[in-house]
Amino acid sequence: MIYLDNAATTKPNMDAIIGANYINETEFFNPSAKYHGGLVSSGIISKAKENFSRIFGSNFEVIFTSCGTESDNTAIFSYAKRGNSVTTLGEHSAVFNCFDTLKKSGYDSRFAKINKDGSVNVDDLLSLIDKNTVFVSVVHVNNETGAINDVNYIAKKCKEINSRLIFHSDGVQAFGKIKVKLSNYIDLYSISAHKIGGLKGVGALIKNKTLKNLKPYIIGGGQENGLRSGTENVFGIKIFETVAIEKDINFDKNFNHVSNLRQIFLNGIDKNLFTVISGENSSPYVISISARGLKGEVLQHKLESDGVIVGTGSACSSKNPHSRVLKAAGYDQLVLDGVIRISFNYDTSIEDVENAIVKINENANNLKKAMYNL
């Protein structure tokens, strides 16, 4: 099998899992317990937080959650229920649907336009911000096209208009894959373990230490300093810590390898069959293309039968016939019908990509011939 849907989820890092297995075997205690075992488990979490703070910088602290979606929800529902709040039409559903829900409940939610590559139209975003704006959320890397938004610059420009607003970014497709150096203009940043080789069921909300009045979204026993109740997943957190450190140490090597894969793929794909949607300023880990006039889902299933796994957009909104994001970017129905998403991982091989190109071109060509009786 050639797996090219890493934006949906990555294969767990088995070395990290094996290295953390002592937690399940000997340090399985509840980290809230006051006896020795509980204190050891609590210490494992504290050490993980220290290492995440080293990665993001001393001005930031980590709140462990169950996933990127929970991190996004915590940020949004903590601050976006007064004044007006601004996001983009290119957000992951974990952000977009929160704003949409608030809008339907009578809150003033505003949505900035996006460009053809899925990046935010910064001028339009800034035009929506005023003295009553309390919260802004802009995705760092678009999960469908890979478009990179310069969130440090955007946050700075937003706060030049209103210095009191809270700025959040969904960094789920960015962390571990592109350079993430958060400025002090960023207040909150969401990440997820299973996008970088960790386990599903673990995420984090990175919080600027200067930020006040974050409210818990999950209420109960007061874990995570009262900001996220529920017994912590110590095993998953330890694995998340391990893969995050590995990504930080090997960033340049991984980035250069995946950038090479991206170029090989773009050079090899048949331009007579496919329209490339992803732009130049994109994460090399995600490429969105369209077999114009064909059905992306049909092509996806044909490829699966040939041992190649690709996506058709966001796995979290796969029930929708067309991509909400690409609709907002202005693509017509023929392009929207044929969209597939290719996403790499650091362990994707050149041979895998070269073989996938052959299968993708071949299956798209066969479908086109069958459709037009050529």
- Cβ count within 10 A of residue 241: 26
In this structure, are residues 264 and 270 in contact, taking their beta carbons and an 8 Å threshold? Answer: no
End-to-end alpha carbon distance in the chain:
30
CA distances from 27 to 41, 43, 83, 230, 335 (A): 6, 11, 46, 18, 52
Q: Is 98 an active-site residue?
A: no
Looking at 67, 98, 158, 316, which residue is catalytic?
316
In this structure, are residues 317 and 93 in contact, taking their beta carbons and an 8 Å threshold? Answer: yes
Q: Report d(CA 180, CA 200) in Å as an integer.
A: 22
Closest CA to 111 of 90, 134, 94: 90
List all residues 6 or more positions away from 103 whose beta carbon is below 8 Å from its beta carbon. 109
Q: Could you tell me the strand order of the sheet in which 339-343 lies? A: 275-276, 286-290, 339-343
DSSP state of 195: G
Catalytic residues: 316
